[in-house]
Amino acid sequence: MKSVLCSIFICAFLAACNTSRNISETQDSNHVKNADTISISNDELEYEVIIIESGYDSWMARRAKPKSFYTKTFLESRNIQYVTVWNSRVISSNYDSRLYEMQINYLQGIDYGFDVNYALYHYFVFFEEKYKQKLTSHNARF
C-alpha cells in the first residue's frame, strides 16, 4: 500500500496537470481534498502534488505551520535536499524499496510555485515522522 501511495504521489508530482478533477473541492480550485487525499496544484505553472497517505490530512492540521511562516526560498532549498536524499535511496539497495519506490523529478531552478513546494516539504516531514526515516541532516524542524 505504501509503495502504491508513494508511486501515486511521485507520478502526480511529475506530471503536468491539465486533466479534469473528479474529487470534491474545498477552499478553492487549487486545493482539492477527499479524506486523506490532498491535491495542490499550480495551474499557471502546470504542476501538481497529489498526496494519498493515511493520516496526512490530520497531521497537516495538527503539525504544519501556516504558509506565512515560510518563504518560497526556504521551501525550495529544503525540497532540493529532501529530493536528493530520496532519489539516492531509491537507487540504493540499503533502503526499503517499498518506501523509496520511484525517483522524484524535482529540479532546482524550476518555479513550481509556493503551494507545490509547501505541500512537498510537509510531505517529507510527515514521511520522516511516520516511517521513522531521516531524510536531512537538519535537526530543527520549522
Other CB atoms within 10 Å distance of the CB of residue 96: 12
Q: What's the first-to-final CA gap in the chain, in angstroms?
A: 29
DSSP per residue, 27-96: EETTEEEETTEEEEEETTTTEEEEEE-TTHHHHHHHHPPPGGG--HHHHHHHHHHHHHHHHHHHH-TTS-
Strands 31-34 and 37-42: antiparallel
Instruction: Report pLDDT digits (tens) over 92-122.
Output: 999 999 999 989 889 999 999 998 999 999 9
59, amino acid identity: W
The pLDDT score that the predictor gives to residue 28 is 41
139, amino acid identity: N
pTM of the model: 0.70
Q: What is the mean pLDDT of residues 113-136?
A: 94
